[in-house]
């Protein structure tokens, strides 16, 4: 299976050139301000799933963290690798819900990020993915997920996922909710789109 056929990536390869500018225009600190206190201060392994243009991966690397950036859309991954050629970032072609390549490496991460990713998975995929995210999160580590609410852009595959469902799936996988913020505004000035931000911890 090529990256262009991965479920949930529809439309991104075709629109990559148009997407990179708006994606990169959003500042890491502005987008992730609510979870900045949850990011470890000491250098640690970070996993960025659906890393896109590499904006967040580069920010984590600049903080001193080592990052595995997973991006299944080849056009975005190539752009990100060129724009952010940091030795602290390892780029990986893998995809949810199974993340088979990543899981085969047996690594765990102190911070796992899914920003604007979870809404691309259908119900069965979300149920299959959450235990894998828990396996990738180290004991005491945090998992951050954003949920999109609003109309689906043409040519994209998205689902309106509830916070209640996501919290329940996380609890079943052994993750505890530590942050929930509803009705967060769009960073692209879309009044018809809001976001929910969730953060979990994997207890000892």
pLDDT at 109 over 90: yes
Q: Does residue 4 carry a pLDDT above 70?
A: no
Q: Report pTM.
A: 0.89
Write out the residue range of the structural domain in which residue 42 sits: 3-201
- How far apart CA 11 and CA 129 sit, in angstroms, is 22
C-alpha separations of 198 from 15, 61, 77, 103, 195 in Å: 28, 23, 26, 23, 10
Token pair in block for residue 16 = 């990559």
> Is the pLDDT confidence value at 10 over 60?
no
Q: How many domains does the chain have?
A: 1
Q: What is the CATH number of the domain that holds 94?
A: 3.40.50.150
Specify the pLDDT at position 20: 59
pLDDT tens, position by position, 54-104:
999 999 999 999 999 999 988 889 989 998 999 999 999 999 999 999 999
Out of 76-80, 91-95, 123-127, 186-190, least confident range: 186-190
- Per residue in 143-168, pLDDT (tens digit) is 999 999 999 888 888 999 999 999 99
């Amino acid at each position: 299976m090529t990256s262009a056929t991965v479920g949930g990536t529809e439309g991104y390869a075709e629109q990559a050139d148009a997407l990179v500018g708006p994606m990169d225009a959003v500042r890491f600190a502005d987008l992730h301000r609510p979870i900045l206190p949850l990011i470890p201060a000491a250098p640690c392994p970070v996993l960025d799933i659906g890393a896109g243009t590499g904006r967040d991966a580069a920010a984590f690397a600049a903080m001193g963290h080592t990052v595995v950036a997973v991006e299944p859309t080849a056009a975005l991954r190539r752009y990100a690798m060129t724009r952010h050629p940091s030795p602290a970032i390892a780029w990986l072609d893998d995809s949810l819900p199974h993340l088979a390549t990543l899981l085969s490496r047996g690594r765990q991460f102190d911070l796992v990020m899914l920003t604007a990713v979870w809404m691309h998975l259908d119900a069965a995929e979300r149920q299959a993915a959450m235990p894998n995210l828990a396996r990738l999160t180290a004991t005491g580590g945090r998992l951050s997920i954003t949920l999109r609410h609003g109309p689906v852009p043409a040519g994209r595959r998205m689902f309106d996922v509830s916070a209640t469902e996501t919290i329940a799936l996380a609890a079943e996988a052994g993750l505890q909710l530590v942050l929930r913020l509803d009705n967060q505004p769009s960073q692209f000035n879309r009044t018809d789109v809001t976001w929910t931000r969730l953060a979990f911890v994997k207890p000892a």
